[in-house]
Structure 1
């Protein structure tokens, strides 16, 4: 279509080109803002109709069931035995679960053979205790 026949030729010299008096049909002003703006104000009913779960959050999730609060490493066994260890039938026994430990971890080394009672233990901790001649027992 030739430019001289287009409708916009009629609007040349006018401010609004048929869109009313004040700033209509410009940017996002005629929509009430860009994107999600106004969802708690002038677009509240639109939010309720289209996305009622827009605000708020889900309830808290329960904590991890195997939460480890206190642990000991293999390197700590000598010190723990010196303070709290017992001799039972010629064996050195450490009851970590009675002392409040939840898990035995495999960091460090030990030279002595201990019988260790603990709720949970890592595979490396079990290997290191067995190599030193001891054993790890799962306590309830």
Structure 2
């Protein structure tokens, strides 16, 4: 039974595998302007449809200048309150500023009345703590403003 060789097997040693002179089947020549480099070739297309294709755009602010927020949710306050030994008028006092937190967020539930000192606090967090009988002291309130 005759067996037809595959093209790649048949073309072994041929250098161009039937595609003519060197380089005729490479790169973008037979792909209709694909991958030709837009700085020289499709320049009118670039200027009309993608004017921002070349050049630098915008500004990246340095990471060292960005303020990194360390947030905590109300759900974790009970764990921290259990470790805290400070008490004020029957309420456990938790100073989140000393623990390195910058903002208190309102996800979760709180059961016990807790006094919390924190630099910033969301409205929902403040409402939930007040409903439980607690109090939120932000830095501006502590300074007497």
Task: Please indicate the TM-score interval, normalised by the length of the shorter structure.
Answer: 0.5 to 0.7
Alignment RMSD, CA only?
A: 3.7
Separation in 2, partners of 1:108, 1:54 = 46
Q: What displacement does 1:38 show? A: 5.6
Contact 1:97 1:139 (8 Å CA) reproduced: no
Q: 5+ unaligned residues in a row in structure 1: which ranges? A: 1-32, 48-52
Inter-CA distance 43–108: structure 2 relative to 1 (3 Å threshold): closer
Normalised by the length of structure 2, the TM-score is 0.54
Partner in structure 1 of residue 86 of structure 2: 86
Normalised by the length of structure 1, the TM-score is 0.55
Q: What displacement does 1:73 show? A: 1.2
Partner in structure 2 of residue 28 of structure 1: none
Separation in 1, partners of 2:66, 2:94 = 22
Which 4+ residue blocks in structure 1 deviate beyond 4 angstroms?
A: 65-68
Contact 1:68 1:103 (8 Å CA) reproduced: no
Q: 5+ unaligned residues in a row in structure 2: which ranges? A: 1-31, 47-51, 141-145
